[in-house]
Amino acid sequence: MFIKRNNFIRLSAIIGFIAINFAVSANTMAAVIYYLKGNDTVIGELRTEIAGLNDTLLDIGRRNGFGYQEMKLLNPDVDTWLPGLGKEILLPEKFILPNAPKIGIVLNIPEMRLYYYPEVKAGEEQQVITYPLGVGREGWSTPYTKTRIVEKKKDPTWTPPESIRKEHADSGDVLPAIIPAGPDNPLGAYAMRLGLGDYLIHGTNKPYGVGMRVSHGCIRLYPENIEDLFNRVKIGTPVNIVNQPYKIGELDGVIYLEVHPYLDEDGEHFSQNSLTEVVKYIIEITEQNRYEIDWDLVKEVVAGSKGIPVPIGLHLPELKQASTADVIAEDRLKPVTGKMTNIELRLDTEINN
């Protein structure tokens, strides 16, 4: 259980349009804190929002805490720039937690999302806060490793590495040796250095890049999100960078699968081993206990890569006479506009005390 409180060249051609729209985007949603219960690893609820006259899909995503990729995965047929007045937009506000220790910061690169687990005192409920990310493009990939926050800086200056200055110079954009703090600084107003040399978690002066692969390996957040995270995180906080396009989770005995597009450079591995990876994760989460899985649905979810948790079966250490089809049918209910979707499973069960 949980409780809710509170491609590179083509991108450059649309910088002006996006920057203008994001500059006037307002009323962004405050960070949501999820309180975890027991061993459940699925949080949030799917919901919808009705597009306004001047909304873009990116406007709606930003003010609700989502990046470009996750909004397009769930709304593939919606026009990015003109969704249309009154258009119902699906919001992917349901997540499976990454398969990683719930300590400090966990960055799931293919998902383009950060999970932060604040320190809690003995007896307090485990918490998690999540934010969308922009990550490194192919050739400048963010490394998968464990590290820590080693430095925090408000209003940072940026000293572009020689490799980046050369790349820009080759395209006719000459960068100065040092870029001071301010609106032209790509680091934004806050930066936190990882124990990996030049790798940072930072803000941005181009918010359109959140939810895209546009950086040189660093992690970028929306300005309002990096400010919130910066004020919560201490120097020394652990950071775990993982590569998990497939996530398996459990909530109230129901097993969920969440699939995101894998990175292009990982295509050879995941395209050949996708189902094998999912089976491995299911075995890990069930720990050899009894379970019932709809394998045809698993294949559909893997092929669809919609980026939201989908119920694929039941974990049956205690439940009996329960049909996977019943669970799937219940959780495919259409979200209610503007409201959290509350799924109530009506199963014929027998509980062993």
**Which domains does the chain show, CATH number per domain?**
2-242 (2.40.440.10), 246-331 (no CATH)
Check pLDDT > 70 for residue 43: yes
Rounded Cα gap, residues 323 and 297, in angstroms: 14
Place of tokens 């996006």: 18
Length of the chain: 353
Task: State the chain's mean pLDDT as an integer.
Answer: 80
Lowest mean pLDDT among 118-132, 233-247, 333-347: 333-347
> What pLDDT sits at residue 168?
61
Query: Please, what's the b/e burial string for 117-129 (b: 16 or more CB within 10 A of its CB; e: otherwise)?
Result: beeeeeeeeebbb
Copy the structure tokens of residue 158. 């940026």
Q: To 10 degrees, what angle do helices 267-286 and 295-304 make?
A: 140
> What pLDDT sits at residue 28?
67
- Per-residue pLDDT band for 325 (boundaries 50, 70, 90) equals low
Check pLDDT > 70 for residue 320: no
> What pLDDT sits at residue 173?
66
> What pLDDT sits at residue 177?
66
pTM score of the predicted model: 0.81
> What pLDDT sits at residue 24?
38
> What pLDDT sits at residue 251?
93
- The stretch 29-58 carries a mean pLDDT of 92
Check pLDDT > 50 for residue 187: yes
On whether the CB atoms of residues 78 and 87 are closer than 8 A, the answer is yes
Query: Which positions are catalytic?
Result: 202, 218
- Per-residue pLDDT band for 170 (boundaries 50, 70, 90) equals low
Copy the structure tokens of residue 161. 């590495």
